[in-house]
């Protein structure tokens, strides 16, 4: 099969012929139909986060099941599925207490002595996030997929695989935004737009979008933003405080920077909660004024929207088909796998929400 292989940091990926193994007892072989190009891929491509190379990037994807292992009963060939990087074992403490996104059990991967799922001339290729969706096929553990209805367009479904689940989930699961509350979202890429959409669905009375790109702020209005703040033209913290009469009940940081994480906390009213979604570079320290904690302000992280993805993803599909989840406007363009390097460069400019690779 063809795959975009990442061999060296910040060097163009080549489209290569690689080998994919046959499904093990609890594995599923998926024909990739659509894969979003996400900032998380860029963080590894540019070396901000380390990775074991060579690697096949990509983790926001949807496709059709082609083969299943002997012990797989959840899906069958022909089923439409969304993949999810928060693979879960189902029996560790985190899984049994409903926090599957925190599961780190190694049994969802193949052991070192086993044949690798992906290889090139007999040498293993790392699957980014246990998926590796910049390839024509994905071989994954059965607990990395969610089955969905077949009338859902798979290019839209792919977005649910990461950005939508991360953003909407942070609102409804991690922060538990209440109806009538005020929300500010810093960063209007795919995840930030999903936060905005989720806050609108949750019934927030005011949803403030913060970014420095006018076109993305306009797009945010389509996703449910009631107000927009261009952080290039004004002090974003003061602007949010003015719009919310002293600070927002909930803030979300969807960029991954020290400065914007601190802004998210400083935008809060007393008793508010800031949720950091973006991937802040390793080694960066977020600095806060300790006295603020006396006023019950909170800062917390969120990984993949604290999801229960086999429950959440089919529900998000229904919300899209009901016209409540605005996935159409999130897709900047459909591209080919051969365009992957251009798509990575576009992520660096911050001008787009999502490019989606189509495999058929």
Q: Please identify every residue annotated as catalytic.
A: 38, 40, 43, 59, 162
Q: How far is CA 337 from CA 190, 247, 268, 279, 358, in A?
A: 20, 44, 42, 25, 7
Q: How far is CA 15 from CA 12, 122, 171, 200, 235, in A?
A: 10, 17, 37, 40, 44
Two tokens, residue 345: 């460069």
| Angle ∠(206,314,86) on CA atoms, nearest 5 | 85
3-state secondary structure of 152: coil
Other residues' Cβ atoms within 10 Å of the Cβ of residue 106 = 8
3-state secondary structure of 251: strand
Query: CA-CA distance, 125 to 159, in Å (whole number)?
Result: 25
Q: How far is CA 5 from CA 1, 114, 209, 284, 339, in A?
A: 12, 21, 36, 29, 13
Query: CA-CA distance, 196 to 188, in Å (whole number)?
Result: 8
Query: CA-CA distance, 269 to 183, in Å (whole number)?
Result: 11
Distance in angstroms between the alpha carbons of the first and the last residue of the chain:
14
4, 127 contact by CB (below 8 A): no
Residue 212: exposure state from Cβ atoms within 10 A (0-12, 13-18, ≥19):
middle
With tokens 């400083």, the residue in question is 266
Query: CA-CA distance, 24 to 10, in Å (whole number)?
Result: 34
């Amino acid at each position: 099969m063809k795959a975009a292989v990442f061999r060296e940091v910040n060097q163009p990926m080549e489209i290569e012929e690689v080998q994919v193994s046959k499904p093990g007892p609890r594995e599923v072989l998926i024909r990739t139909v659509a894969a979003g190009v996400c900032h998380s891929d860029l963080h590894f491509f540019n070396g901000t986060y380390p990775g074991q190379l060579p690697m096949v990037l990509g983790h926001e994807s949807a496709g059709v099941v082609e083969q299943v292992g002997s012990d797989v009963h959840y899906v069958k060939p022909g089923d439409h599925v969304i993949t999810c990087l928060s693979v879960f074992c189902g029996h560790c403490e985190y899984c049994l207490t409903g926090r599957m996104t925190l599961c780190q059990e190694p049994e969802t991967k193949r052991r070192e002595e086993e044949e690798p799922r992906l290889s090139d001339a007999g040498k293993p290729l790392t699957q980014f996030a246990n998926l590796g969706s910049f390839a024509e096929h994905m071989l994954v553990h059965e607990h990395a997929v969610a089955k969905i209805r077949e009338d859902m367009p798979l290019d839209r479904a792919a977005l649910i695989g990461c950005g939508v689940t991360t953003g909407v989930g942070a609102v409804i699961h991690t922060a538990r935004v209440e109806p009538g509350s005020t929300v500010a979202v810093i960063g209007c890429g795919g995840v930030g737009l999903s936060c905005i959409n989720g806050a609108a669905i949750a019934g927030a009375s005011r949803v403030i979008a913060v970014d420095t790109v006018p076109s993305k702020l306009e797009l945010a209005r389509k996703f449910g933003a009631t107000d927009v703040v261009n952080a290039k033209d004004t002090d974003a913290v003061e602007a949010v405080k003015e719009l919310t009469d002293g600070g927002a009940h909930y803030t979300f940081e969807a960029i991954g920077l020290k400065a914007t994480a601190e802004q998210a906390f400083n935008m809060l009213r007393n008793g508010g909660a800031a949720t950091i979604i973006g991937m802040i570079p390793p080694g960066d320290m977020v600095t806060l004024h300790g006295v603020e904690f006396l006023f019950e302000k909170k800062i917390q992280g969120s990984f993949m929207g604290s999801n229960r993805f086999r429950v959440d993803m089919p529900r998000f599909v229904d919300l899209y088909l009901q016209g409540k989840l605005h996935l159409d406007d999130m897709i900047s363009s459909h591209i080919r796998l051969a365009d992957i390097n251009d798509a990575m460069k576009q992520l660096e400019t911050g001008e787009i929400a999502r490019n989606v690779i189509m495999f058929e």
